Amino acid sequence: MFDRDSAFSMEIRDPDDPDDKSPIVEMITIGNEMLVFKETSIHRGLTADTIDPGKSDLSTRHSSEMLYSVGASNSFVARMILQFKEMIGLAISQTARKNELIQHVWEANKLLLDCEKAFYHIYKHTIELMPKCDEIVEANKNKSAIPAMPKVLDLETHVSDFLINGKKFLVAAYRLLELFYQMPMDGKSEAHFDKHRVWIEAKLGKEHPIYKTLESAEPWIRLIAECSNAVRHKEAGLKLEVQNFALNPGNKFSSPGWRYDLTKKGLGRQDDHTDLIGDLNVRIYNMLTFFEEVLLLCLQGELKDSALMIFRIPNEKINPKCPIAYEVNLRSSASS
């Protein structure tokens, strides 16, 4: 007889890759979920009680499901949940508060991974189509007409997904200030980043590192937020135009680009399209490092009267299989 309450073991692997031998790097319970972080993927463990909570069939076996096709070796995983789970555990003593913060980081991490998924789709298909566009132009530039350029499938949808999830991620980053400093954030004002900065100025002062971080990041943060608004609510002075592969004068083609008109929000207007891949790549890393910096500063405040402090791991010591960049250690380690 199968006993679902007995100890068990199971193999965790990518269901689309029977040869998957990626090692398990970390297993974390967040809320009611058991998450398994492999080097190249993230999975959720499913116990028999999760699958069959009503115990309608006692023969129900345990299982798992793959959540993401990136894992601990991905910097957006390593420098979010895997880096901060350990740090929060050392900096925060109250169990309920600790669990709330870890849950919050994981929810934010999922938003960032959704941004990366949208970016990777655009990047992958753009790189694949560029030589095809070049071949079409070269083969037909001496003819009377050049065939249509191939297109990145669902380009606008993926740009929209990137921006909408990016705005949600930035709200989650600012919500750290609510969790650590009780900064008020309600549904109507949660994306009013300029007002949050003003509140932090009054609370902590202009010389505080958190205020300086918010001040320096606010221009690009507002740009992402207003571009996110523009893809959903197009109106005069609030527009975002996404251009796919296109044929230009002189029989040259351009890769995907975008331009915006955010004059209604006081953020100006782009007259020319800029490179979409380059811009999205910069923005997603800005989002990662912004969240990381804000949370590091918050945790540093928690540790100020303890024997522990936060250290930057030297580049040569960062593990490429899990590239965590910071760790908590004894203050005396600073001189060793």
DSSP labels, 289-325: HHHHHHHHHHHHHHTTTSSEEEEEPPGGG--TTS---
Number of structural domains in the chain: 1
- Host H or E run for residue 194: helix 193-204
Q: Please give the pLDDT value at position 336.
A: 44
Residue 3 lies in a domain: no
- Asked if the structure places residue 260 within a domain, the reply is yes
Q: Is residue 51 part of a domain?
A: no
Question: Would 19 be classed as within a structural domain?
Answer: no
pLDDT at residue 307 greater than cutoff 70: yes
The secondary structure of residue 141, as a DSSP letter, is T
The pLDDT confidence band at residue 84, using thresholds 50, 70 and 90, is very high
Q: Which helix (H) or strand (E) is 47 found in, with range?
A: none
Average pLDDT over residues 195-215: 97
Q: Model confidence over 136-194: pLDDT tens digits?
A: 999 999 999 999 999 999 999 999 999 999 999 999 999 999 999 999 998 777 889 99
For residue 136, the one-letter residue type is I
- Strands 308-312 and 246-248, bridge-based pairing: unpaired
- Kindly calculate the radius of gyration of the chain based on its CA atoms and give it in whole angstroms: 24
Rounded to two decimals, what is the model's pTM?
0.92
Q: What percent of the chain shows pLDDT beyond 90?
A: 79
Q: State how far the Cα of 219 lies from the Cα of 193, in Å rounded to an integer.
A: 10
Structural domain range at position 163? 101-308
- Taking phi over 0 as left and psi of -120 to 50 as alpha, with beta for the rest, 237 belongs to left
Tell me, yes or no, whether 322 lies in a domain.
no
Quick check: is 114 in a domain?
yes
Q: Is residue 93 part of a domain?
A: no
Whether 81 is in a domain gets the answer no
- Confidence at residue 22, expressed as pLDDT on a 0 to 100 scale: 87
Cα-Cα-Cα-Cα dihedral sign, residues 212, 216, 222, 228: negative
